[in-house]
Amino acid sequence: MIVKKLNVVSVIALVAIVGCTPMIKLDIDTYLQNPDYYKKMDVVFTTNLEDLLERNELYQGKEIEVTAPVTSFGNWNFWTWYLILEENGKKVRAYESEYRIYPDLYALNIMHAVRSKGGEVTVRGELRRDGIELDRIAYQGLSINTNIKSYRPYYFYY
């Protein structure tokens, strides 16, 4: 009985902590018109690669969402697994620090589907100096949280 009460209390506390901040997607220009209005909201800025690179300083340290084609992915010459978003000659690296040795199988499967079928990927994460630190990858209705890595004993992906 005590365990059930503790579980109920834990769930209520989790909902109170996580569920109180509404998430809203908007462009940076709308945000800049009245930033005080959005102070208590979890804001995700939607943008494209061109705007992201032109106004990089405005987006630094903020949660962003970008949709673009992926030209490559892997962990060559960088400290962790990444993917390169490229459109009209503009490139941005999106990476996941949790995937230092091996990427998650779901993320890898999405990248292989993109390679074979084509299309655009939507990524969400925090813009940093070295690229976008991923929180989410979405492709054709499939969306994964990149901060959660599924278990696997080993997997060779080269």
- The CATH-assigned architecture of domain 23-145 is Beta Barrel (2.40)
Q: Which neighbouring-strand residues pair with 47?
A: 66
Residue (of 70, 150, 136) closest to 103 by Cα position: 150
pTM as predicted: 0.79
pLDDT tops 90 at residue 151: no
Say how far apart CA 25 and CA 106 lie, in whole Å.
25
pLDDT tops 80 at residue 153: no
Better-predicted residue by pLDDT, 76 or 84: 84
Q: Give the up-direction half-sphere exposure of residue 24: CA atoms within 13 A in the CB hemisphere.
A: 15
Domain residue ranges of the chain, discontinuous segments joined by +: 23-145
Query: What are the phi and psi torsion angles at 24 (to 5°)?
Result: -135, 140
pLDDT tops 90 at residue 8: no
